């Protein structure tokens, strides 16, 4: 019998126990032995179906020689960082869903894992249950990855879908997303684009092999989206989605950002709804490859955690190099990127200078799409016009 422990018995932690219990047969088939959860660290003991697993004492897990893999689902940085370090130093593999910790300290924790001859795996941290990090680093290993973009946050995609399709209010759908276990403990991270920002940083780290500092990545969420723009975009063949995007630039530089985009209805990404996420990876040999599935929720996320547990146990003697350097040099501002931009301005005419813009609608306000311009030029234009909305178009 192989024993594992869980740190934090919330939505994902509980899902891990459920997946291990529900899938004993297929898991045993892969490991040659049964797998079971021995201990779960909680802040406070409570009445719960899994009360028999609970401890409030981290040292019980740290010093338990029987526990070979620890699944960290506490979230945040402080306690999660300290416990992860201590588990790795105690010679235990660590698996996590915690994108904040991976985005901020992943490179360093991978190095610590390497030194201690164990694994640090985090497939659940991006795209929840969608396999994306393994395909990126393994199946697409023969490519130079030039771009990744995607819908990376289940909560905001769920909110946008329900608001647009069912006319639900923002507050009511956010509450529903929290009840379903999709949202972060502090949902500001979801709605302000910070969660998607952490995920695009992890994708960029792995794709480009260099640390991307989340503090350098502009992150815009969905709170500024006006349903009026959703309607205008819809009448002209576009949908509005929150995208994370990272690109390789000329000269070896890289950039990343999160922002709402207009997406043509012809692009399958425009039809990714509810809690579903989709990630497109553009490799120089494969062209665009798209990954699609549930980006949040108890069981999909737990599925990715347990798969990482199985991988750690299967590959105890084989640790492939992920290739993620702590060097942050070469990161460029996404304002240098050229795109067409959607604008809605509070005026009924456009100046001569904007004659090349494609006007979508004109009344007391004007909605138009610019030719391809840099983010800096779009900012200048926004300062010059009475701008009510401004968004990149996914070209
Ligand atoms: N929910 C989802 O769909 C997904 C979540 N994730 C990530 O997974 C992680 C966990 O998320 P989720 O399960 O939703 O969050 P929850 O808030 O549901 O669970 C976190 C659990 O950790 C416990 N905890 C907090 N601090 C400590 C501590 N010091 N010692 C022991 N236990 C502690 C909390 O206890 P208490 O209640 O007492 O605070 C809570 O039960 C996060 O990093 C999140 O970003 C990733 C993908 C999807
Ligand atoms: N809060 C996150 C959870 C999964 O990463 C989301 O909504 O995507
Ligand atoms: Na994943």
Rounded distance from Cα 159 to ligand 2 centre (Å): 12
Residue 59's region, left for phi above 0, alpha for psi from -120 to 50, else beta, is alpha
Share of the chain above pLDDT 90, in %: 92
Note the pLDDT of residue 112.
97
pLDDT band at 315 (very low <50, low <70, confident <90, very high): confident
Q: Ligand 2 pocket: which residues have CB below 6 Å?
A: 128, 153-155, 182-184, 190, 195, 295-296
Let me know whether 67 and 125 are in one domain.
Answer: yes
Write down the pTM of the prediction.
0.93
Boundary of a domain, candidates 294, 328, 347: 294
Let me know whether 17 and 121 are in one domain.
Answer: yes
Let me know whether 104 and 203 are in one domain.
Answer: no
Task: Evaluate: CB of 99 within 6 angstroms of ligand 1.
Answer: yes
Which ligand has the shortest distance to the CA of 293? 3
DSSP state of 144: P
Q: What is the 3-state secondary structure (H, E, C) of the chain?
A: CEEEEEECCCHHHHHHHHHHHHCHHHHHHHHCCCEEEEEEECCCCCCCCCHHHEECCHHHHHCCCCEEEEEECCCCCHHHHHHHHHHHHCCCEEEECCHHHHHHHHHHHHHHHHHCCCCEECHHHCCCCCCCHHHHHHHCCCCCEEEEEEECCHHHHHHHHHHHHHCCCHHHHHHHHHHCCCCCCCCHHHHCCHHHHHHHHHHHHHHHCECCCHHHCCECCCCCCCHHHHHHHHHCCEEEEEEEEEEECHHHCEEEEEEEEEEECCCHHHHCCCCEEEEEEEECCCEEEEEEEECCCHHHHHHHHHHHHHHHHHCCCCCCCCCCECCCCCECCHHHCEECEEEEECCCCCCHHHCCCEEEEECCCEEEECCCEEHHHHHHHHHHCCEEEEEEECC
367, pLDDT greater than 90: yes
Boundary of a domain, candidates 261, 294, 327: 294
259, pLDDT greater than 60: yes
Is 364 among the annotated ligand-binding positions? no
Is 9 among the annotated ligand-binding positions? yes
Note the pLDDT of residue 319.
57
Note the pLDDT of residue 353.
64
Note the pLDDT of residue 317.
53
Boundary of a domain, candidates 314, 349, 373: 314
Note the pLDDT of residue 355.
81
How many domains does the chain contain in total?
A: 3
Let me know whether 307 and 347 are in one domain.
Answer: no
Residues 86-110: what's their mean pLDDT?
Answer: 98
Neighbouring CB atoms inside 10 A of 240's CB total: 25
pLDDT band at 17 (very low <50, low <70, confident <90, very high): very high
- CATH code, 87: 3.40.50.720
Inside any domain, residue 320? no
Note the pLDDT of residue 349.
82
The pLDDT tens digits of the residues spanning 206-245 come to: 999 999 999 999 999 999 999 999 999 999 999 999 999 9
Task: Evaluate: CB of 96 within 6 angstroms of ligand 1.
Answer: no
Minimal-distance CA residue to ligand 1 atom 38: 43
167, pLDDT greater than 60: yes
Note the pLDDT of residue 90.
98
Inside any domain, residue 352? yes
The DSSP result for 282-309, as a single string, is EETTTEEEEEEEE-SSHHHHHHHHHHHH
Q: CB of 95 within 8 A of CB of 308?
A: yes
Let me know whether 186 and 208 are in one domain.
Answer: yes
Q: Among 281, 218, 270, 272, which residue's Cα sits nearest to residue 239? A: 270
Instruction: Please state, rounded to an integer, the average pLDDT across all residues of the chain.
Output: 95
Residues 182-211: what's their mean pLDDT?
Answer: 97
The pLDDT tens digits of the residues spanning 22-62 come to: 999 999 999 989 999 999 999 999 999 999 999 999 999 99
Lowest mean pLDDT among 78-87, 123-132, 341-350: 341-350
Structure tokens at 321: 């190099």
Strands annotated E in 24-152:
35-41, 54-55, 67-72, 93-96, 120-121, 145-151
Separation between Cα atoms, residue 177 and residue 115, nearest integer Å: 40
Let me know whether 290 and 343 are in one domain.
Answer: no
Let me know whether 50 and 142 are in one domain.
Answer: no
pLDDT band at 354 (very low <50, low <70, confident <90, very high): confident
Is 99 among the annotated ligand-binding positions? yes
Q: Which domain holds residue 15?
A: 2-129+299-314
Let me know whether 97 and 186 are in one domain.
Answer: no
Inside any domain, residue 323? no
Residue carrying structure tokens 């088939």 = 29
Note the pLDDT of residue 241.
98
Task: Evaluate: CB of 334 within 6 angstroms of ligand 1.
Answer: no
Task: Evaluate: CB of 185 within 6 angstroms of ligand 1.
Answer: yes
Let me know whether 374 and 258 are in one domain.
Answer: no
Which of 3, 30, 38, 199 does the annotation list as catalytic?
A: 199
Minimal-distance CA residue to ligand 2 atom 4: 296
Which ligand has the shortest distance to the CA of 156? 2
203, pLDDT greater than 60: yes
Let me know whether 144 and 96 are in one domain.
Answer: no
Q: Assign 271 to helix, strand or coil.
A: helix
Rounded distance from Cα 307 to ligand 3 centre (Å): 10
Let me know whether 29 and 71 are in one domain.
Answer: yes
The pLDDT tens digits of the residues spanning 279-313 come to: 999 999 999 999 999 999 999 999 999 999 999 99
Q: Assign 357 to helix, strand or coil.
A: coil
Report CA 115 to chain centroid distance, whole Å: 27
Structure tokens at 312: 């750690």
Inside any domain, residue 326? no
Rounded distance from Cα 295 to ligand 1 centre (Å): 16
390 counts as catalytic: no
Separation between Cα atoms, residue 339 and residue 393, nearest integer Å: 7
Rounded distance from Cα 72 to ligand 1 centre (Å): 9
Let me know whether 260 and 289 are in one domain.
Answer: yes
Separation between Cα atoms, residue 226 and residue 53, nearest integer Å: 47
Inside any domain, residue 39? yes
- CATH code, 228: 3.30.360.10
Inside any domain, residue 319? no
Inside any domain, residue 329? no
């Amino acid at each position: 019998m192989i024993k594992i422990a869980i740190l934090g018995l919330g939505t994902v932690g509980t899902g891990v126990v459920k997946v291990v219990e529900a899938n004993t047969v297929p898991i045993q088939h892969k490991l040659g032995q049964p797998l079971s959860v021995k201990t779960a660290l909680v802040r406070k003991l409570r009445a719960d179906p899994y009360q028999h697993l609970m401890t409030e004492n981290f040292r019980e897990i740290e010093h338990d020689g029987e526990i070979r893999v620890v699944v960290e689902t506490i979230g945040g940085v402080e306690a999660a960082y300290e416990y992860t370090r201590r588990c790795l130093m105690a010679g235990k593999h660590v698996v996590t869903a915690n994108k904040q910790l991976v985005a901020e300290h992943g490179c360093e924790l991978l190095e610590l894992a390497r030194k201690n001859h164990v694994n640090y795996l985090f497939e659940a941290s991006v795209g929840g249950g969608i396999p994306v990090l393994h395909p990126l680093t393994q199946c697409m290993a023969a490519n130079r990855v030039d771009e990744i973009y995607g819908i990376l946050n289940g909560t905001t995609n769920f909110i946008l879908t329900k608001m647009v399709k069912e006319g639900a209010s923002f507050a009511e759908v956010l509450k529903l997303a929290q009840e379903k276990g999709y949202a972060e403990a502090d949902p500001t991270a979801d709605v302000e684009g910070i969660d998607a920002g952490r995920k695009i940083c992890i994708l960029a780290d792995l794709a480009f092999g260099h640390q991307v500092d989340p503090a350098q990545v502009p992150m815009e969420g969905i709170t500024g989206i006006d349903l009026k723009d959703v309607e205008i975009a819809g009448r002209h063949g576009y949908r509005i989605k929150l995208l994370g995007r990272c690109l390789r630039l000329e000269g070896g530089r890289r950039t990343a950002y999160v922002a709402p985009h207009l997406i043509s209805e012809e692009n399958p990404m425009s039809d990714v709804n509810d809690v579903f996420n989709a990630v497109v990876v553009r490799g120089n040999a494969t062209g665009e490859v798209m990954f699609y599935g549930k980006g949040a929720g108890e069981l999909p996320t737990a599925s990715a955690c347990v798969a990482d547990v199985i991988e750690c146990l299967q590959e105890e003697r084989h640790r492939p190099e992920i290739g993620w350097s702590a060097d942050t040099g070469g990161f460029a501002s996404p304002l240098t990127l050229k795109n067409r931009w959607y604008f809605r301005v509070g005026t009924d005419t456009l100046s001569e200078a904007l004659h090349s813009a494609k006007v979508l609608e004109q009344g007391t306000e004007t909605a138009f799409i610019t030719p391809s311009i840099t983010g800096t030029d779009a900012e200048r234009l926004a300062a010059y016009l009475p701008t009510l909305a401004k968004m990149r178009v996914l070209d």
